[in-house]
Amino acid sequence: MEEALLRELFRIPTPFGEFPIFGYGAMVLLGVLSGLWLLRRGARRQGLDPDSLSDLTVMLVLCGIIGGRIWYLIQFRERVYADGDWLETFRLWNGGLVLYGAIAGGLVGFFLLQRRSHYGPWRQLLDLIAPALALGIAFGRLGCFLNGCCFGGVCPADWPLAAIFPPGSPPSLAHGDGLHPSPSLHPTQIYSSIQGAILALLLWLAGGPLAARPGRTFALFLGLYSIGRSLVESIRDDHGVVQGEWTVSQLASILAFAFAIWLWTTAPNIERQPNPDQG
């Protein structure tokens, strides 16, 4: 089997042996670092001190990872613990974060921290987080592609973006005995990564015009992401449905879209202070 060719980027020689660098973990780390970089830039653009948000952003990342992992372990518990190995709970390098769980965990942590310490208006902070989160998604989904999880259904072999995963990878196991490559599949991970990159750019550009209505940038993120996620879910092939033809993430998308509508419609209108130089 050639699973390592898919999941490992390279190995670092050490006195204790070779240390593998997994593609999934590396992309998640790049997503976190790039998101923090964009968050700091957004804070400076809003006239805020980015260093004052350092502890908040670290805690949000931790809460997001915990939330995403808990959601994954609950949703895919039969798959994760099929061999009865409870240590799989902690093997994040094998993949296993549900994005909606990460968003939910991050939001719970955000409101708990915001309640204990005043970091500023919560809607404005959510707006700063939105493009950073979208950029993190773009990198994170590349990690899913390298890991072979979150794969799509069978597509025509001549589809320009068709992906064939190597023997031993999750897609080859799902579509055969794992000894042969998978058939041509929709690279839903790449679709989601492109969506995240486009959202990051759009939200960054919209951050200025929407600044007078705090909360609307994050609402725009949730609304557009939930629509795109539902579409991608319709061609994913790595999980089943829970009712009729609805997946868990599509049901979560409905809740996310409803929350986005609430954020958008209840956003306060901040009157911009007049410039004294303009009389």
Nearest to 136 by CA among 6, 256, 38, 252: 38
R_g (Cα) of the chain, nearest Å: 20
Q: In the prediction, which pLDDT does 277 show?
A: 43
- Cα distance between residue 186 and residue 175, in whole Å: 13
Q: In the prediction, which pLDDT does 79 show?
A: 76
Within-domain flag for 197: yes
Within-domain flag for 9: no
Q: In the prediction, which pLDDT does 101 show?
A: 92
Q: In the prediction, which pLDDT does 66 show?
A: 93
Spans of the chain below 70 pLDDT: 1-6, 93-95, 240-244, 271-279
Tokens of 103: 């968003």
Q: In the prediction, which pLDDT does 41 show?
A: 92
Within-domain flag for 63: yes
Q: In the prediction, which pLDDT does 46 show?
A: 85
Query: What predicted TM-score, i.e. pTM, was given to this entire model?
Result: 0.86
Structural domain count, the chain: 1
Within-domain flag for 176: no
Q: How many CB atoms lie within 10 A of CB 211?
A: 16
**Contact 21/12 with Cβ under 8 angstroms?**
yes
Residue-wise pLDDT tens digits, 48-96: 888 888 788 888 999 999 999 998 888 888 777 878 888 888 877 666 7
Q: In the prediction, which pLDDT does 64 show?
A: 92
How many C-alpha atoms does 276 have within 13 Å on its Cβ side?
0
The residue assigned the tokens 């794969």 is 151
Q: In the prediction, which pLDDT does 5 show?
A: 46
**Contact 227/198 with Cβ under 8 angstroms?**
no
Within-domain flag for 181: no
Domain that holds residue 145: 20-150+189-260
